[in-house]
Amino acid sequence: MSRVRRNSRHRGRAAFKILLAMAVLVAGGTAAYFTWWNSDEAAQLTVRYRTDAPAKTATAKPWVEVINDSKKTVALSDVTLRYYFTADDGAAYGANCVQTSVGCSNVTQKIGTTTGKATGADRYLEIGFTKGAGKLSPGGTSEAIGLQLYRLDRKELDQANDRSFDAKITHYAPSKLVTAYHRGTLVWGEEPGGSTPGPGRGQADAAPAGVVFDNFHYSGAGDPALAANGWHARTEDGGPGIANTWSADGVTFPSEADAQGGQALRLRVTTDGTKQGTKQAELQRTRPDFFTGTIAARVYFSDKPTTGRTGDHPNQSFFTISPKDKSDKYSELDYEYMPNGGWGAPGPRIDTTSWLSGSGKQSDRVTRFHNQSLQGWHTMMITAVDGTVTYSVDGQTLFSHDDKKYFPREHMGVNFSAWLVDLPFEGLRTWDMKVNWLYYQADRAVPLADVQKTVDGFYTDGTNYVNTLPKS
């Protein structure tokens, strides 16, 4: 019996060793599997392309699609594309996103310069994705990504000599002339000659919830991306200022050396001193996106006309406003800058006003004015939190009130507006107001330093537009 028991113990030890060995093998195999899954091994991708514009056009319209040919899931934030072109006349270019199922808020765009000499490729549009763009399962597709490329001087561009352009491809087809990278490694396409390095492996985080950001990278008032992102260049009748003189002609997005990112919204007022010869400019938000929280914009105010004689009474405004004048919850928060004053009051002057209604009555508003020049660029901020509204310029409080009667009661749109109080004399002159970027964080008071840090991050990542507000 004892011998049997000893043999039983030996068999038990042997079985234990076998089980242990199997466990090690299984664990090792599993470890190897996960090591492979998380390794830097490049994915297999295909890029399909089509064009939506002729060779000579005001705006190039490349559309691209990314297909995952790998046997594993690929995060779009690990993918970068490059579309190669030639900068006509050495002009500065801009780009934006028009349409995509992953959301234009999750598509980044940067314009870079190639090194060396390559036919049709001294520039490239680099397209990336934030972590909010999601993942592509094996065989999965990003679906269509509609992009635009344009000259900042608004001149026509010629795509005929652009490396990645093909006028014949008007329906999606694989294109090796658009390159794709996975974690910085080329996995699709043919790079142009020269030593241009591939993109790095930096990944842009998805924007936090409750944020709107726009750096106004658009080709003009008719840009479909402008409308898609909720903006409208006003042409409707009415006031304020010289009634019925609103024109989209004054809403442009030119190159601007002093603007962060090199491009800005410009609102131009032109007049010859007559109503018939006057054009005012306003960019309106078509959606009532803004309620409580922090809204900020980097704005350029002008104390003198760009051309012509001074002496007008221009009003350069940044404000939030209810979508309907007669709403029983009407809300409006205003900045109005008048370098030469207006309505008998001297300038330069900045008015900060919270409105209870759109009546214009003195009793329906609480306001403060400050006689000071704001010539140049300034960060204008309004916070509306916990019953208190605060107006500040470059981090310095101008006016704050806790009268809940004038606290916002409904969602508002945001407008930027440049107009004339009156027409005091004849003669041609032009006034310009500019806007570099707009930022909004719902429901929270955000310090200026944190606002600027977030904005800087968007510019670094190549994020032109963000809207992570809940869809209503």
For 413-452, give the DSSP string.
EEEEEEEES---S-S-EEEEEEEEEEEEEETS---HHHHH
Q: pTM (2 decimals)?
A: 0.89
Residue 472: its pLDDT value, please?
Answer: 67
Q: How does pLDDT run across 430-462, given as a tens digit for each residue?
A: 999 999 999 999 999 999 999 999 999 999 999
CATH fold of the domain at 211-467: Jelly Rolls (2.60.120)
Domain positions in the chain: 45-188, 211-467
Residue with tokens 């009051």: 345
CATH fold of the domain at 45-188: Immunoglobulin-like (2.60.40)
- Residues 205 and 436 sit within 8 Å (Cβ to Cβ): no
For the chain, give the mean pLDDT: 91
Question: Is the pLDDT at 35 greater than 60, yes or no?
Answer: no
At 22, is the pLDDT very low, low, confident or very high (cuts 50, 70, 90)? very low
- Residues 393 and 376 sit within 8 Å (Cβ to Cβ): no
> Which of 73-82, 147-156, 235-244, 323-332 is the least confident region?
323-332
Average pLDDT in the 162-185 region?
Answer: 96
Residue with tokens 């492979």: 36
Q: How many CB atoms lie within 10 A of CB 184?
A: 15
Please give the Cα distance from 202 to 340 (Å, whole number): 48
Q: How does pLDDT run across 271-318, given as a tens digit for each residue?
A: 999 999 999 999 999 999 999 999 999 999 999 999 999 999 999 999
Give yes or no on whether 45-188 and 211-467 have one common fold.
no
Please give the Cα distance from 264 to 31 (Å, whole number): 52
SS3 label, residue 19: helix
Question: Is the pLDDT at 21 greater than 80, yes or no?
Answer: no
Distances (CA, A) of 124 to 84, 404, 444: 4, 52, 38
Average pLDDT in the 257-276 region?
Answer: 97
Tokens of 102: 């992953």
Tokens of 101: 């199922």
